[in-house]
Amino acid sequence: MQASPALVSSDDLYLFNTGQLFRAYRTFGAHPMEIEGSTGVRFVVWAPHAREVAVIGDFNGWNGNNRIVNMAQVGTTGIWAGFGPGIGEGARYKYEIIGEKGERQLKSDPFGFQSELRPNTASIVTSIHHHVWQDREWMADRKVNPPYEKPMLIYEVHLASWRMDAPEQFRDYEQLAHELVDYVCSMGFTHIEVLPLTEHPLDRSWGYQATGYYAATSRYGPAEGLKILIERCHQRGIGVLLDWVCGHFCKDDHGLRLFDGSPLFENEDYRRAEKPQWGTLAFDFGKPQVQSFLLSNALFWLDVYHIDGLRVDAVASMIELNFDKPESMRTVNRYGGTEDVEALHFLRKLNETVFLYYPESLMMAEDSSSYPGVTSPTYLGGLGFNYKWNMGWMNDMLRYMETDPAHRSSRHSLITFSLHYAFSENYVLPLSHDEVVHGKRSMLNKMPGTYQEKFANLRLFYGYWMTHPGKKLLFMGGEFGQFEEWKDYAGLDWILLQYPLHDSMRRYVRDLNLLYLNHRALWEGDHKQEGFEWIDVNNASQCMLSFQRNDKSSDCPIVTVCNFSRENHPVYRIGVSQSGSYRLLLNSDEADYGGSGMEMPIRVTAQTIPLHGKSHSIEVPVPALSTQLWLSER
């Protein structure tokens, strides 16, 4: 039986099957509507190898033989469509798919807009158009104020474990719209990046193994609540980024795996499909229908939820065919290489599509590879992202900071090497959730030394991080010195704020954030060599670094001095490029932050004593394990 052509337009059929239906969610899935005077729901699904497709749900007793919805193929396109009169919002449903060999499967809707709370897995008929948005000012402003030369301080959040009163007692979206947003604003962050919110069956996958790409997870209440959360962020001046997983999907029976009885969303070659490291399946990026599905999903979150950008997960695993695969599963591309040509094409197309409709969006690659041009335009052969996570900087810095100060002099290059490539891409400096799980210890507990020294080292590290070129990202808990590593099944240890050093750490991070926001030199030149100058890069023996950050005018440079050793320097001379006075902006060793409180001048005057290739120099005290920032007031 053939479906009525009125259910799906010929243009949509053509565009979907050629990888160009960029808003496929408007056609596919379950849409409440009126057809020929009858109110009900239109169902559309892609299942080209199915012998039969039925819609079952609480409206027909979950009985595929009770055909309230007459699903039929639309021509020979592999797309099935039908209309269910009398079905309304809130109805639960699945697709009953009979494969070519007669096997029966029950599948959630790949385009379903809402899912049942796990462990239940049915899709729920939901309209996506009810919310009346109250963020017009934010949406208009972001179009005329692009992010590249603006400050960016991202607070990475796992909504379930930010605050939790008891196991599995999650804050809902609307609660978080007040508690989380108020906290983020008070700390001076500019953006929230949320770990994946697509529906997923296992809490402890953190959302990285999804089944419902178009459904905001029901763990935190109805999807309407997520819109309220995002809207409140925008009203308070906070951007929202979504951690988006387009590289792989989980194997649960109700999901995308063998969707119509055959490999559909995944590659037919198991060596290409399997992700053994994660127990998942890779999308087959060479199929145009899969491209339509994923490209539409990216735009869906921007269209329907007003998300400000996507952090694309695991890019390295997408573009390398043999990423973490055993020898028996290794393959080559049609040119004999190991790059995934289809994945590279997809990523370029993804960024071109997003920027076509949302040129102001943030598209960030979480990429640990050395693939060149990740943030270069596609017309120059790049992948077209506008930001890339600097995993090299992160790994080098954590290795250095974990080293006892007595032995850091031999590892000095770890903290300087990043400036050899800092301007080759547009970088974000990530201190993310991945660095504080699986036995890696929390940021605070990575630091060596005594209890006091751990805090001093972390304040020092954060000071260097904030003044190094690149936008910033910090995972929740890092701001107050969470001592245990992240526990995804429990809330952060907010009780630690009752202890002076932890509360002092929180205040230090807040003040560091606010200082960053208020001084253009710390972010205006993030992607240009002119924004950074070494003063003394070679003082490995004393574990000292000094450098200068410049704004566009270079009128108000900021000098950063970092002492990674346990030695105090009551008098330390540093070359500076300008005459006049220098004012102390921040000292991580202040007693108010839990430091030693070594006496520091508020201002110093530059002398005409050349040093470090500069025409002038200043003398300042430099406490052990500390960062100082000095502002030129010429």
User: Is 551 annotated in the active site?
Assistant: no
321's tokens? 């065919």
Are the C-beta atoms of residues 442 and 406 closer than 8 Å to each other?
no
Alpha helices in 331-418 (DSSP H): 341-357, 391-401
Q: Phi, psi at residue 496, to the nearest 5°?
A: -60, -25
Among 283, 106, 113, 99, smallest CA distance to 212 is for 113
Looking only at the bridges linking them, the beta strands covering 362-365 and 387-389 are parallel
The DSSP result for 444-485, as a single string, is: HHHS-SSHHHHHHHHHHHHHHHHHSSSEEEEETTTTTT--SP
Do the beta carbons of residue 525 and residue 552 sit within 8 Å?
yes
Longest dimension (CA), the chain: 91
Annotated catalytic residue, options 313, 340, 479, 590: 313
Residue 366: active-site member: yes
Residues 6 or more apart whose Cβ sits within 8 Å of residue 486: 158, 161, 433, 436, 437, 442, 475, 477
> Residue 482 contacts by C-beta under 8 Å, 6 or more apart in sequence?
436, 442, 443, 444, 492, 493, 496
Six token digits for residue 527: 């992607």
Give the active site residue among 109, 308, 366, 551: 366
The conformation of residue 415, written as its DSSP 8-state character, comes to G
Residue 438: Cβ-neighbour burial (10 angstroms; 0-12, 13-18, 19+): exposed
**Cβ-Cβ contacts under 8 Å for 68 (sequence gap 6 or more):** 55, 59, 60, 84, 85, 86, 87
**Position 610, amino acid:** P
| Residues paired with residue 339 on neighbouring β-strands, in sequence order | 320
Contacts of residue 19, defined as CB under 8 A and 6 or more positions apart, other chains included, come to 287, 288, 289, 291, 292, 295, 349
- Give me the active site residues, please: 313, 366
